[in-house]
Amino acid sequence: EDQVTQSPEALRLQEGESSSLNCSYTVSGLRGLFWYRQDPGKGPEFLFTLYSAGEEKEKERLKATLTKKESFLHITAPKPEDSATYLCAVQEFVYSSASKIIFGSGTRLSIRP
Amino acid sequence: ETGVTQSPTHLIKTRGQQVTLRCSSQSGHNTVSWYQQALGQGPQFIFQYYREEENGRGNFPPRFSGLQFPNYSSELNVNALELDDSALYLCASSSKITQGAYNEQFFGPGTRLTVL
């Protein structure tokens, strides 16, 4: 069964304490892996797209990497405003021109000042 | 450039009723997807529409149906509402780039549906 698993479920860090979030996936026909940030009561906000193993993307304090089985979201020297739920999603080729998007359950990140 | 908008923001229905949720895509996008997000969970893929045709569907029963219009706006219809349908319903728009692959999706703020 196609799955996307994120770990840890929740992470509490001190401001400035770097860490990584993990997203592991078991899907066939991967067409892309996406990272989103979601604040309470709002829709997810796009962060990164990764298409192939070895690819890396950076934005401010965030860096996303991709291997054949998992992706990491590294956060360097986080600030309280980085507190949010971080979602990973995988786009899987289904047939013809159709695709399916599978989201993980997210990691709730909390940064203490 | 306007973003993805959804209406209404909140909705309360009773079990057995029908509901229609609406979404306007981001300018220039031709694909719209709908998701159901329960509290504390990641979004669950309902279906995707490309050029007014359903182009992928998740594990949701037929009472979840949709439409995409020529201007790429979309509706999600849910018949015979059940208590478990209470959730945040998200719409996302994107552009098709290759066969079976799409650019990143941009999400609307969602519609919070409560079924009593």
- pLDDT confidence tier of residue B86, bands split at 50, 70 and 90: very high
| Two structure tokens written together for A18 | 């770097």
DSSP assigned state of A54:
T
Question: Quick check: B100 and A45 CB within 8 A?
Answer: no
Contacts of B99 in chain A (CB under 8 A): 96-97
Question: Quick check: B42 and A105 CB within 8 A?
Answer: yes
A14-63: pLDDT as tens digits: 999 999 999 999 887 777 899 999 999 899 999 999 988 999 999 999 99
B4-56: pLDDT as tens digits: 999 999 999 999 999 999 999 988 888 899 999 999 899 999 998 988 888 88
> Cβ(A11)–Cβ(A3) under 8 Å?
no
Question: Quick check: B48 and A102 CB within 8 A?
Answer: no
pLDDT recorded at residue A31 = 78
pLDDT recorded at residue A50 = 92
pLDDT recorded at residue A95 = 63
pLDDT recorded at residue B27 = 83
A2: nearest CA partner in chain B: B58
Min Cα separation A80/chain B (Å) = 21
Question: Quick check: B101 and A102 CB within 8 A?
Answer: no
- pLDDT confidence tier of residue B108, bands split at 50, 70 and 90: very high
| Two structure tokens written together for B44 | 């669950």
